[in-house]
Amino acid sequence: MDWSHFTPWSSLIGGCVLGVAASALILLNGRILGVCGILASVLRRDSAELPWRLSLLAGLVVAPWLLHALAGMWPAQLQLPAPRVPASWPRLAIAGVLVGTGTRYANGCTSGHGICGLARLSPRSAVATFAFMASGFGTVFVMNHLLFIG
């Protein structure tokens, strides 16, 4: 494990914020926080719920920039390490297409199945979460230990 980039506090805070957002969305709107489904709905231009869906997606894009802008005001002990993505843009694009394809086949993504579905004790979400976690673990193992690409 790369302990210099281990960020338990930011991960804990991020998980809590995500949990509060998912809880608020289901309690206030009766909707599941499945980001891929929300994005698909926006792309299909389902107009009835477009404002809140666009707001949620905009928040996902704007929040990291806002965090970066505000981080300079925090004490040095609370500074977050700069994110590092050791992959080329083509590799990231291919990974994005594969993840998008997988979410369509699974009828949901990690936020819909892994957070909201498991919290509702959905058997379908448990199977989907197991499948995409096992696929992720397997892919990392093959890429890093068998193909030595990573």
Contact present, 120 and 126 (Cβ < 8 Å): no
**Beta carbons of 117 and 44 less than 8 angstroms apart:** no
Residue 70: what pLDDT? Answer: 79
131-146 confidence digits (pLDDT tens):
888 988 998 898 888 8
What predicted TM-score, i.e. pTM, was given to this entire model? 0.71
Total residues found in the chain within this entry: 150
Give 56-109 pLDDT, tens digit per residue: 899 989 988 887 787 777 666 566 666 677 888 888 898 888 888 888 888 888
Can you spell out the DSSP letters for 64-126? Answer: HHHHHHHHTTS-GGGPPPPP---S-HHHHHHHHHHHHHHHHHHTS-IIIIIIIIHHTT-HHHH
Report the alpha-carbon angle 125-48-54, nearest 5.
70
Confidence of residue 114 (pLDDT cuts 50, 70, 90): confident
Residues 22, 115 contacting (CB under 8 angstroms): yes
